[in-house]
Amino acid sequence: MNSRIEILVNQWASETLDESYREIHAQIRFLSKELFHDYEPIQGQAINFNTRLENWLDNVSSDSDKKNLFKILSHLFYIGISEFNTLYRVAYNELIAKWLIDIENISFNDFSNAKSELNQALKDCWICPITDSLNINSFFHVNNIPSTAWNEMRPQWYGINEEGPDQPKWNSNLQHINNHNINKIILIEDFVGSGSQIEGVVKFLMEKDLDIEVLVIPLINCPKGIEKLNQLSRKFEKLSYKAVIELSESSFISTSPKADEHLDFITIREFINRIYDLTSGGLVPGNKIPYSPFGYRDTGGFLISYSNAPDNTIPVLHCTSKTWVPLFPRHSRN
């Protein structure tokens, strides 16, 4: 028996002679079996993806708007648990290792000695998350990083630049640095959108002028975040920036048309602007979640990770309101 979604898709494809509807449906069916089942914010709900998809399309009444929603799915970039584990391994075994080889000036003329030096340098690093969205314990487990006296403490650094005059978080971190003679800090984040959260933390640390080498690694970085972190690394001599994945501008929908953008974006832009009142539950674009039709700071992303939907992703995918049922409900800190 054909599902309701399949009936709609076949109807749209026949009416418009556009086979892309069937192609999107085939892709989504595959991903729902292989990836979407691990989306953490819905684990406590007894509702499968196909039902969520039906409910999501029912947010809009007209057939043309249902088609618009469905077309958005062709641009979805979903990263599951196993994919994140791969990002963890690349960050540790490639980016961190290469960084240490450079700053420690490790020579591979004697491979055995070089390997020993690199292993020791890896042990000497203090690796911490910037926000709690990066599962730092999983990073250690996946990479089999040995425990040391200093890396047993793995605080998140987010908000350290916004503390009051007593600065308890910074004082605790500084004491830890001094107690263990730490001279290399690695700050990791799972996803950087606009770079606003990470910028304040990094500037705060670097302006302390502690004579410490610092490496910042986003697993996934967006164009605005790439620009911001490149600027910071040029400003501070002891700051290095490396990302596992740098997403291109073409992966994001902007608030205004661009000459080389995907053809779908013309329709999607008009659509998400037009239905923002419905999506947000009556909020106007501004400082309140979900911020704008294009997400936080108008990033315009289509990314969903297994652990959550970034607020830089377009709200039609993740926003929950009195008038909108999301496909991937976002768990918000706020």
State the number of CA atoms in the 13 A half-sphere of 124 facing the CB: 17
CB atoms within 10 A of CB 247: 21
The pLDDT, as a whole number, for residue 165 is 83
* pTM (2 d.p.): 0.91
The pLDDT, as a whole number, for residue 1 is 44
The pLDDT, as a whole number, for residue 242 is 98
Please state the φ and ψ torsions of residue 30, each to the nearest 5 degrees.
-65, -50
Give, for all 334 residues of the chain, the pLDDT tens digit: 468 999 999 999 999 999 999 999 999 999 999 999 999 999 888 688 999 999 999 999 999 999 999 999 999 999 999 999 999 999 999 999 999 999 999 888 877 888 888 888 887 889 999 999 999 999 999 999 887 777 889 999 999 999 888 899 999 999 999 999 899 999 999 999 999 889 999 999 999 999 999 999 999 999 999 999 999 999 999 999 999 999 999 999 999 999 999 999 999 999 999 999 999 999 999 989 999 999 999 999 999 999 999 999 999 999 999 999 999 999 886 5
- The type of residue at 275 is I
User: Domains of the chain: which residue ranges?
Assistant: 4-75+251-318, 81-246
